[in-house]
Amino acid sequence: MRLVVSTCLLGTACRYDGRAKRCDEVARLSRKVRDAGGTVVGVCPEVAGGLPVPRPCAELCGDEVVLANGHRVTEAFERGARLELDEALATHDLPLAVLKARSPSCGVGFVYDGTHTGTLARGNGVFARLLGERGVHMATEDSVRACTPSMEHPVALILGSGMGHLSGLVKPVRRIAYQDIAGFPADARPVEGHSFEATVGTIDGVPVVVYPGRVHLYQGYGALEVTSLVQHARCLGCRVVVFACATGAIPGVARKGLSVIADHINLTGANPLVGWNVTEDSAPLVSTEFVDMAQVYTPYLRGLVLGVARDMGIDVKEGVLAGVLGPSFETPAEVGALKALGVSHVGMSTVCEAIMAHALGMQVLGLTLATNYAGEPGVSHQTVLREAQLHAEEFEGLVRGVLALL
C-alpha cells in the first residue's frame, strides 16, 4: 500500500508558523502501513516549492495563493505541488493521500478563503487539486480521526446474503437479538443466508458490532424498518459503518467479484428520510431530512480498501450501485437502461441504509460482491449464495485488512 501524507501531520516542523501539527491517528496509520510492508511518502509542497520555514501565512483565493498583505505566492505553491506530485505518483499505484486539512496546498474539501479571517471556502488546495485530477483518494486528518474505532465507537458491519460468516470472526462480548432492536420488524424471519442476532465484540482486537443479516424492502418492510439496524448502530456509538451486499454486475461495465461502492442511484422508490422528522424517538439524531448526498461513501475508507486489495493481489475496482426494489431480477431492457445510467452494479439492499447512515453523520464504506451478471438467465437466491461462498475468503481478508488499518 502506498500512502501519501503531509509531513506536518507526522510531526515535521514545516508549517508556516514553524511548527508541526502532529496527528496521532495519522502517525499510527503510517506506522501500520510501513509495518505491513507498504510505503509512506511524506510531502510538504510549500517546502518543496522553496518557501522558508517559518513564512508568512498564505491562503487560497480562487486560483491564487495570497498573503495577508495581498502579495501573491501562487507560483511557489504550484512549483512545489508539481514536484511533490512526481514523488507521490512515482509508481503506477494510485495512492491514498492523507493531507493537512484546510491548508492552501493540502486542504481537501475546504480551505481558508483568502480573507485571513479564519473563514473557510469550499475547494481543494493547489496540491490536492492535482491529486484529485489523477483520481487519488484524498482525506484529511479529520477523516482519519472520525474513522478511528474505540470501545465507545465500534465499527458496525451490516452484512448481506451469504456474507454473515464474518460474525464467526468476532470475539464476542455481547449478543443482541434483532427483536430487541427498536424499529426492527417484530415478525421478520431471516431469509436463507441471513441470521438475526448482532454480535458486539472485537475482530483482531478492533471493536465491532456485526449484524449478519437484514430485512429488505422487497419483503414488504418500510424504509425505516430496513434502516433500523443503522439507527441502532448509531445509538450504540458506531461512527463507521461497513455495508456488504450481493449484487449483479452490469455486463460490459463490471465483473463478478468484489467491488467498492463509490456512489449510488436510488431506484427503490423509497427513502428512509421520508417522514423522518415526525418520528419523535428519532428526532434528536437527525436535524433535517434535506440531507446533502454529495459524498455518501467516505473517500478515506474507499482508498484503504483499494490499497488493501492491491496488497492482497485481488482486482477490486470502484463502481456505482443502483438500488432497486426487487425481488425479481432485472430484464435485459432494465439492464440496458441501468448501463445507460452509468450503473456498474445492481442490488436490492444498502442504498436506503447508506442514506440513513449518511444522514446520521456516519462514515460509510460499501463493499459489494457481484455474484452474477445482471439479467443473466438462471439466477436465483441459491446461485447468489453459492457464489458468495466462493468469495468468502477474499471478502474476509479485505475486511480484516481494512479493520487492521483503522
| Residue number with CB closer to ligand HPA (105 or 161) | 161
| Interface of this chain with ligand HPA, residues 285 to 324, rule: CB under 6 A | none
Q: How far is the CB of 242 from ligand HPA (least distance, A)?
A: 18
| Residue number with CB closer to ligand HPA (13 or 385) | 385
Reduce the DSSP state of residue 278 to 3 states and report it.
helix
Instruction: Give me the phi and psi of 46, to 5 degrees please.
Output: -65, -50
Q: How far is the CB of 192 from ligand HPA (least distance, A)?
A: 13
CA separation for the pair 58, 65 (Å, rounded): 6
| Residue number with CB closer to ligand HPA (85 or 338) | 338
Per-residue binder mask for ligand HPA (CB under 6 A), 361-390, x = binder: ----------xx-x----x----x------
CA separation for the pair 245, 21 (Å, rounded): 39
Q: Could you give the maximum distance between any two Cα atoms of the chain, in Å?
A: 70
Q: Going by C-beta distance under 8 Å and a sequence separation of 6 or more, which residues neighbour residue 239?
A: 146, 147, 149, 153, 361, 362, 363
Q: How far is CA 151 from each of CA 155, 322, 363, rounded to the nearest angstrom? A: 9, 34, 17
CA separation for the pair 27, 242 (Å, rounded): 24
| Residue number with CB closer to ligand HPA (81 or 322) | 322
Reduce the DSSP state of residue 385 to 3 states and report it.
helix
Q: How far is the CB of 26 from ligand HPA (least distance, A)?
A: 37
Question: 381 and 191 in contact (C-beta within 8 Å)?
Answer: yes
Single out the residue of 181, 230, 246, 357 in contact with ligand HPA (rule: CB under 6 A): 246
Give the closest residue to 61 by CA, choosing from 147, 1, 123. Answer: 123
| Interface of this chain with ligand HPA, residues 327 to 356, rule: CB under 6 A | 329-330, 346-348
| Interface of this chain with ligand HPA, residues 78 to 117, rule: CB under 6 A | none
CA separation for the pair 239, 234 (Å, rounded): 7
Tell me the β-bridge partners of 156.
Answer: 209, 241
Q: How far is the CB of 254 from ligand HPA (least distance, A)?
A: 11
Q: Which stretch in 143-151, 210-218, 241-249, 259-267 sits in contact with ligand HPA by CB under 6 A?
A: 241-249
CA separation for the pair 385, 381 (Å, rounded): 6
| Residue number with CB closer to ligand HPA (299 or 347) | 347
Instruction: Give me the phi and psi of 218, to 5 degrees please.
Output: -70, -15
Q: Which stretch in 75-83, 120-128, 246-254, 359-367 sits in contact with ligand HPA by CB under 6 A?
A: 246-254
- By CB under 6 A, tell whether 202 contacts ligand HPA: no
Question: 74 and 137 in contact (C-beta within 8 Å)?
Answer: no
CA separation for the pair 280, 298 (Å, rounded): 29
| Residue number with CB closer to ligand HPA (144 or 384) | 384
| Interface of this chain with ligand HPA, residues 159 to 188, rule: CB under 6 A | none
- By CB under 6 A, tell whether 259 contacts ligand HPA: no
Q: How far is the CB of 248 from ligand HPA (least distance, A)?
A: 2
| Interface of this chain with ligand HPA, residues 42 to 81, rule: CB under 6 A | none
| Residue number with CB closer to ligand HPA (172 or 269) | 269
CA separation for the pair 399, 308 (Å, rounded): 9
| Residue number with CB closer to ligand HPA (235 or 325) | 325
Which residues of the shown chain bind ligand HPA in the complex (CB under 6 A)?
Answer: 246-248, 329-330, 346-348, 371-372, 374, 379, 384
